[in-house]
Amino acid sequence: MFEYQQNTICVAGAWLYSEGIMTESNYKYLCSNGKMKKVTIGGNGRKAMVAYESIPDRFKKIIREKGIDPYASVKNIVFGDYMNWDFKAEQYFRDYLLDNGLHLPEEKQKEYTHQAIMFNAVKHISTNVIIQKRFGGKKQMWERMLEAISNLPETWMHTRYKNVVSFKRAIQKYEKDGYVSIVSGKWLNSNPSKIVEDVADFILSQYCLPIKYTITEVLKIYDSVREAKGWKTLSERAVGAWLEKSEQKRIWMLARDGKEEYMKHFGHTVTRKRTEWFPNAWWAIDGTKLDLVHFANNKQKMAAELKINVVFDVYSEKIIGWDIAYSENHASHFRAIKMAVNESGCRPFLFTYDKQSGHTSNRMQDLYDKLPAKGGTHYSHKVGRKSSPAEQIFKRLQQQVISKMWFSDKQGIKVRTATNKPNTDFIVEYKNALPTVDEFNKIFSALVNKWNAGKQEDWEFNRIEMYNQETEHREEINIMDQLSMFWIDETKVKKYYAHGMPLTVEGKDYLYEVYDETNNVDLNFRQKYVGESLIVRYDPERLDEFVGLYELTPSGEKRFIAYAQSKRMHESIPVLMKDNSKALLLQDISVRDQELKRDQEAYEMLIQRTGIDRESLIEEQELMVKFQGHLPKEEQMSTDSNGFYSRF
């Protein structure tokens, strides 16, 4: 029924449908579509074998419900097959000297050597994909290895671990510190007094290097120069204990692991006084990748491309505004803040954000200047400082709400542990059930409601109740203020072309035209402003409707000219034309002829006023040629008598 083929646990294909796990037609369909992997093909006395791990989870569940454990055979695996004698470990524990100058007891030398050999085997198995499968794959290998180790003969001396957690912790310590991690505390040396002055500088400088030497490696380098420099012998225990002291640790952690890790352990923080805070005292915005997978029209049929901007009321932690977009830009910030203002109906006394370019752009800074209440302010948090409350609240939002969705990819930038990583096999299997991008506003709205209805463990009220608390500090914002506030000015002037005013926002192109009160193309506007450079002012949520056009005065002030609407698009195929569409098409086509006729008439009137026309130019130049550039004074005066200058 179950057996290993090519280091892969397999199940006989015929058994799957003969035992009612699945139908034969379903079995053939899954194999032909590559959703189940055949390891061996049936025929000529051979059985068709299918890789157990490739079987969809819903069928694995049926197998388990029958009381069958495919990996039960792991109990028969001889762990010793992967254990090789470690001569370096044997030598290390044989030479290990205690503080009194004596060696470890031989029994302990043997025990610690066995332990090192066992740890080496575990490391080999946990990093070898093929061997992992014999122990149930990544999900089950630690439990299987612990079980197999427990079945080793009593003559094999090593620590018996009670659970997987302590077992993995011991392995991690071994990977970090090497052989010394195996030595029991009662045998460890503890004399760091020899590490002073030049010795201290040498040890610390080596350990600070970004290549991250282990203590064992640092001690080898030390021993290679020790005699020449006249330094004393040191034990790994002594070096390790000295390096762990705060005075040394803060130096090597900064150099070895970087500023962020250093700040986690040693960065001083300021405690904010929160006792007198109130709703809408402080708003903070943060944007990042949205850790949810959506259906996408690509080869994988899925992606996680969306960004999320969220505005929090810091006092209550309630989400009062948010926006989902493909990029974290000024338009997305704008929509999130506009929602926050609409939701709250008031202004914050403090508004903070990060250094992202969308926030620091002139157009957003102009909005932020208008946003705070009287006496309030806004500013950006300094990069690398843990001063942004939005960032800290957002982490909990991701962990407590967003990551709980089955289609969460949990791929925050600093994901490290397995519990914070997605089950990609599960998501891939059910990718056809993934939501579309169009459904994400509804999904995130539900997540926001869930977050807002929750609270911190030590809070008496939930976030909505905290936010709704009465306060004497509140500055309302009326509709007219909102309308004037939530318009964005382009930072550079744009030319109004003959075909209209083009505008690109968030990678999407728009085209606008100025129409008069009768919904005709405004010929008077075009006469004056085609080819001129203007400032475009727009509401990002109404880009499909209209924008405002302004000209800059000599003093640099903006003066309103007109509103431009989305330019009409016309259908050329008669059968697709709707009522009145042909009339509008002809009306817009006639603009070219009307403007040409108007400007032609203006030129003719100019000729009448000045007398300067094409014919007069020809006559003047013919006379110039006739007299070789020397026109007699009388004839020149006669010629000029009808000219423009004679009128003055």
Pairing, β 546-552 against β 494-495: unpaired
Contact yes or no for 53/138 (Cβ under 8 A): no
Q: Tell me, yes or no, whether 59 lies in a domain.
A: yes
Of the three residues 241, 266, 291, the one that is the final residue of a domain is 266
> Is pLDDT above 50 for 76?
no
**Of the candidates 290, 339, 348, the residue with the CA atom closest to the CA atom of residue 316:** 348
Distances (CA, A) of 544 to 486, 511, 537: 16, 9, 13
pLDDT recorded at residue 446: 95
Q: Tell me, yes or no, whether 274 lies in a domain.
A: no
521 bridge partner residues: 515
Same domain, residue pair 435 and 376: yes
pLDDT recorded at residue 647: 44
pLDDT digits (tens, 9 = 90+) for 207-218: 999 889 999 999
Of the three residues 479, 511, 540, the one that is the final residue of a domain is 479
What mean pLDDT, rounded, does the chain reach? 82
pLDDT recorded at residue 497: 94
> Is pLDDT above 60 for 555?
yes
- For tokens 């010795």, name the residue: 199
pLDDT recorded at residue 529: 93
Residues 6+ apart with CB under 8 A from 32: none
Same domain, residue pair 204 and 307: no
pLDDT recorded at residue 616: 73
Q: Tell me, yes or no, whether 199 lies in a domain.
A: yes
pLDDT recorded at residue 158: 65
Same domain, residue pair 174 and 194: no
Same domain, residue pair 87 and 153: yes
Q: Tell me, yes or no, whether 369 lies in a domain.
A: yes
What is the count of structural domains for the chain? 7
Phi and psi based region of residue 71 (left: phi greater than 0; alpha: psi -120 to 50; beta: remaining): alpha
Contact yes or no for 176/119 (Cβ under 8 A): no
HEC string for 417-469: CHHHCCCHHHHHHCHHHCCCHHHHHHHHHHHHHHHHHCCCCCCCCCHHHHHCC
> Is pLDDT above 70 for 39?
yes
Same domain, residue pair 182 and 195: no
pLDDT recorded at residue 302: 87
pLDDT recorded at residue 187: 65
Distances (CA, A) of 539 to 239, 441, 452, 490: 64, 20, 28, 11
pLDDT digits (tens, 9 = 90+) for 507-549: 889 999 999 988 899 999 999 999 999 999 888 888 888 999 9
More confident residue, 239 or 624: 239
Q: pLDDT tier at 464 (50, 70, 90 boundaries)? A: very high
pLDDT recorded at residue 648: 39
- For tokens 């332990």, name the residue: 115
Q: pLDDT tier at 448 (50, 70, 90 boundaries)? A: very high
> Is pLDDT above 60 for 200?
yes
pLDDT recorded at residue 605: 87
* Euclidean distance between CA atoms 131 and 125, whole angstroms: 6
Same domain, residue pair 298 and 245: no
Of the three residues 118, 152, 186, the one that is the final residue of a domain is 186
Report, as an integer, the average pLDDT of 603-617: 80
Q: Tell me, yes or no, whether 276 lies in a domain.
A: no
Report, as an integer, the average pLDDT of 85-108: 80
Same domain, residue pair 356 and 431: yes
Supply the CATH number for residue 413's domain: 3.30.420.10
HEC string for 209-278: CCCCCCHHHHHHHHHHHHHHHCCCCCCHHHHHHHHCCHHHHHHHHHHHHCHHHHHHHHCCCCCCCCCCCC
pLDDT digits (tens, 9 = 90+) for 232-264: 888 887 888 788 888 888 899 998 888 878 887
Same domain, residue pair 249 and 288: no
pLDDT recorded at residue 516: 92
First CA to last CA distance, the chain: 114
pLDDT recorded at residue 445: 93
What is the strand order of the sheet 8-12 is part of? Answer: 2-5, 8-12, 49-51, 38-40
Q: Tell me, yes or no, whether 273 lies in a domain.
A: no
Contact yes or no for 195/202 (Cβ under 8 A): no
* Euclidean distance between CA atoms 8 and 325, whole angstroms: 44
pLDDT recorded at residue 269: 67
Same domain, residue pair 193 and 235: yes
* Helix residue ranges per DSSP H, 37-86: 57-65
Number of H helices, E strands in the chain: 25, 18
Report, as an integer, the average pLDDT of 348-368: 88
> Is pLDDT above 70 for 134?
no
- For tokens 């409601």, name the residue: 449
Same domain, residue pair 165 and 202: no
pLDDT recorded at residue 320: 95
pLDDT recorded at residue 211: 87
Same domain, residue pair 300 and 408: yes
CA dihedral 470, 476, 478, 483 (to 10 degrees): -110
More confident residue, 541 or 98: 541
Q: Tell me, yes or no, whether 277 lies in a domain.
A: no
Same domain, residue pair 182 and 37: no
pLDDT recorded at residue 432: 86
pLDDT digits (tens, 9 = 90+) for 482-497: 767 778 788 789 999 9
Q: Tell me, yes or no, whether 549 lies in a domain.
A: yes
> Is pLDDT above 50 for 227?
yes
Report, as an integer, the average pLDDT of 366-384: 85
Least confident of 170-184, 365-379, 612-626: 612-626
pLDDT digits (tens, 9 = 90+) for 303-315: 888 999 999 999 9
pLDDT recorded at residue 463: 93
Full DSSP string of 531-542: T-EEEEEE-GGG
pLDDT recorded at residue 118: 86
DSSP state of 65: H
**Neighbouring C-alpha atoms within 13 Å toward the C-beta of 327:** 10
pLDDT recorded at residue 634: 57
Supply the CATH number for residue 196's domain: 1.10.10
pLDDT digits (tens, 9 = 90+) for 376-426: 999 988 765 556 788 888 888 988 999 889 888 876 544 444 455 667 788
Q: Rounded to 5 degrees, what angle do the CA atoms 264, 239, 204 make?
A: 60
> Is pLDDT above 50 for 108?
yes
Q: Which domain holds residue 21?
A: 2-68
